[in-house]
Amino acid sequence: MESSLLLTADEQPISIEQALRYLDSAGKLEPVIWEIIRQHVIEKELQTVEDLDISSELLDQVILDFRLENELTNYESFQEWLNNQDLDYATFRREIAAKLRLEKLKVKVTEPNIQEYFIERKIFLDRVVLSRLVVEEQTLAEELKSQILEDGVRFEQLVQEYSVEDDRIFNGMMGAVSRGTMPDALRAAVDLANPGELIGPVEINGLWYLIRVEKFLEASLEEQLKEELEEELFEQWLEEKIQNIKVNIQVKF
């Protein structure tokens, strides 16, 4: 097969075969092929799936919103932005339309399963704000718990004095923690607790924890999270499609 010119570098020709050899030598050929097949699958679906047309009214509104958001409201600033992006208006409009069609495809593909997927992932999406006091001995942890519950000593004071973790300077505040990443024993105790309640001592990796539950942050299928889950589901769907495609490279390199 006759070599096909791909590009030139300092006027030196680089053929498709050479480019593939370079990518293969660098260990980057497989991800490039995967991306090509990925785009091929998307383009094929966009051509065959119905109800993906974008109305002129919607396209005009999206472009207007983009210009307002990026302070490109006057003609000169918008034209300068297009020039900096090496775009003309017609190309820009086509790119926006293509993105909108892709978003519609994602919704169409994922909508039947998004609720079920949300429920499956909810344990990792729900979060809890926790504070902790961590010591090396169980007896000390039990004594400190007694001081808090029976003697009224402030949790934050004991964290500053006794905790072996660096977050003691923040009064032991751990921030928001995913329920799904917690050790089973801790998650079970946290799920039964109320905000402000003290849990423990609980042993984790040889240390003893007193945990105070600050706040529960239960996940809901709102816009941003829904978009993230749609993206995950769409990528899973694409991967399944790609795995069923037989790929043969026709260029010898």
Name the burial class of residue 224, with classes exposed (0-12), middle (13-18) and buried (19+) by CB atoms within 10 angstroms of its CB. Answer: exposed
Q: Which residues are CB-contacts of 29 (< 8 A; sequence separation ≥ 6)?
A: 20, 23
| DSSP E strand stretches across the chain | 5-9, 12-15, 127-135, 173-178, 198-204, 207-217
CA 239, CA 74: separation in Å to the nearest integer?
43
pTM exceeds 0.85, yes or no: no
The amino acid that residue 183 corresponds to is P
pLDDT digits (tens, 9 = 90+) for 102-148: 999 999 999 999 999 999 999 899 999 999 999 999 999 999 999 99
Q: What angle do CA 159, 160, 161 make, to 5 degrees?
A: 90
For residue 126, report the phi and psi dihedrals to the nearest 5 degrees. Answer: -70, 140
Q: Which two tokens stand for residue 134?
A: 């961590």
Q: What's the CA gap between 78 and 74, in Å, rounded?
A: 6
**The tokens of 166 are what?**
């660096």
pLDDT digits 0-9 by tens, 156-193: 999 999 999 888 888 888 889 898 888 888 888 898 89
pLDDT digits over 210-230, tens only? 999 999 999 988 888 999 999
Multiple choice CATH, 127-217, 1.10.10.60, 3.90.470.10, 3.30.1330.10, 3.10.50.40: 3.10.50.40
Average pLDDT of every residue of the chain: 91
Show contacts of 245-250: CB within 8 Å, 24+ apart: 245/37, 245/41, 247/33, 247/37, 249/20, 249/33
Q: What residue spans define the domains of the chain?
A: 56-110, 127-217
Conformation bin of residue 86: beta by default, left when phi > 0, alpha when psi is -120 to 50: left
Average pLDDT over residues 76-88: 94
